Amino acid sequence: MTAYLAPSWEAGRDLFRRNIVGEVVMLNLLRFRDIADYAATPELTPTGAMLFIGEGGPFFIGPENERWDRAMLVRQSSVQNFIAFASHEGYLAGYGHRLAAIEDSRLLPLVAMAPPSATGVAA
């Protein structure tokens, strides 16, 4: 199974090509290792806290053999601010923690849309 731990150059390019204006909500799907692997960054020790996190479980609709330990929704004021956060020195300083703990991940940028009206047409 291929693990996805960082975005590809092409994914970054495609995100910018969407020309999203305003807020974007990032759906983070995380699969944790049984034990964090700090082989690449032994100088790091776990720190920090998450403000919002949801515990995963079996899919109601989806593959029976696929699991996600945590799901997070993180609102960013813009794609540019998200990229600035993801390239910030403080975030990058702890990136070794992510690589040590995360077995696999997905990151899906979501853009708000008006809910459909009772007639099925977007409001």
With contact defined as beta carbons under 8 Å apart, do 57 and 77 qualify?
Answer: no
The answer to the question of residue 22 being in a domain is yes
Q: Domain count of the chain? A: 1
Domain span holding position 19: 9-110
| Higher-scoring residue by pLDDT: 20, 98 | 20
- pLDDT tens for each residue of 64-100: 788 888 887 777 778 887 777 667 676 677 777 777 8
| Higher-scoring residue by pLDDT: 119, 51 | 119
Q: What is the DSSP letter of 122?
A: B
Using left for φ > 0, alpha for ψ between -120 and 50, and beta otherwise, residue 9 falls in: alpha
The answer to the question of residue 116 being in a domain is no
The answer to the question of residue 105 being in a domain is yes
The answer to the question of residue 94 being in a domain is yes
- pLDDT tens for each residue of 39-69: 666 554 444 333 356 877 767 677 778 888 8
pLDDT of residue 88: 65
pLDDT of residue 121: 63
CATH of the domain at 31: 3.30.70.100
pLDDT of residue 7: 81
Residue 46 identity: P
pLDDT of residue 47: 40
